[in-house]
Amino acid sequence: MRKMSISLVVLGLLVFAGLLQAQQVCPGLPYVANTPEDELMQAVNGADKPEEQIAALDKYAQAHADAKFMPCVDEYYTITYLKLNNYDKVVEYGEKGLATNFKDVMLVLNTLKGYVASGKVADSAFNIISLAPGLITEESKPARPPSVSDADWQKTLDDNAAQAKDELAYVVYAFLQLVPRVTDPAKRIEQLDRFAKTFPDDAAKNAAQIDFDYFTAYRMANQADKAIDWGEKTVTADPNNLDAYNFLAYAYAIGRTNPDKAADYAKKSIELAQQLKKPAGLSDDQFKQAQDNELGMAHLSLGYLNFTRAASAKSKKLGPAIDELKTAADLLGANPELQGQALYYLAYAYESGYPANHRGAIDALSKATSLQSSWKPQAEELLGKVKKAASQASE
């Protein structure tokens, strides 16, 4: 249920908004008096509204499309479109500017701000992130002017180091917002590996989220063993991560690989799910559906565990398994796949008792066969057998 809220994006932009004032615009691209570039800068700096600045930039770009000053024009476009909250345009001009030989920190940060606020992502955004550390280091260590005193120069270096730290912090923040948007699990893993190599210290500091992103990516890729490994790392770094606990409980229970840990994790999942707070932006119905799904999955894990334990015990006490599976089936109404699984196991539990509860099994399987899930064929097959057994028992 981890979702990035709009307020988080806005907070991220506000926290780092001061960087614009601290940075030098277009370093290395000076302009001289009485040139079209001088005229452009006077128009941009003298404009009262962002729209007027855009008009001045458009006029220059149309007349001087091949000018060496164009990367700086693109940078000013990003600055101005940020004021207008037009994040698609920020990204467009940021990417355009960075495609040239000229690259600087402000253009990098502005482009990343555009990506973060737009809700979009692209491979090029991660290329920009990997580019950032070198640019930030380079701009933080300029050549020392000959007339600057030792004290003043040291202050400049200290100020630059503090600014560089803030700039790198935003780059890391941007990565953490962007990587969950990558829908291809292989690409997500590739970018996580790349980040861990480029930002090893920050990867360690943000282990809870990085581990969770790896876990999610391997889960999306259906690589269960890797997902389990990263799920364990996730709950170690974040002891309140419901998604990881619930997945691990289910994996350990259904796979019968670690019943004791499955039981502990399923109970922890129920505890965490009951403590969930409704995130901003979700309706009451949406929140209840998400919470019920988490609870249902945990009860499914416990129900299957209780069933397998009862099946292997002499007492065959199936009551706890039936109760858990009935609860799971009721809660998983918005998840046909898991609900179908819960109903199938419930029917099996009814049939495993003595005497068998054919009526309960038929009801559960009838509902399971009405769902569009991978459990439908199995449920249909078992339903036929149960009906036959029920018919024979009544003769």
**pLDDT for residue 1:** 46
* Residue 107 dihedral angles phi and psi, to the nearest 5°: -65, -40
* Dihedral sign (CA 66, 71, 75, 78): positive
pLDDT tens digits for range 354-374? 899 999 999 999 999 999 999
Q: How far is residue 38 from each of residues 4, 31, 42, 364, measured CA to CA in Å?
A: 42, 6, 6, 78
**pLDDT for residue 109:** 97
pLDDT at 257 over 90: yes
**pLDDT for residue 313:** 78
Tokens for 307, please give them: 């069933």
Q: What angle do CA 265, 270, 271 make, to 5 degrees?
A: 95
**pLDDT for residue 14:** 38
pLDDT tens digits for range 259-301? 999 999 999 999 999 999 999 999 999 999 999 999 999 999 9
pLDDT at 335 over 80: yes
pLDDT at 5 over 90: no
C-alpha to C-alpha distance for 391 and 395, rounded to whole angstroms: 7
List, in order of start, the domains of the chain with CATH numbers. Answer: 6-181 (1.25.40), 183-239 (no CATH), 248-394 (1.25.40)
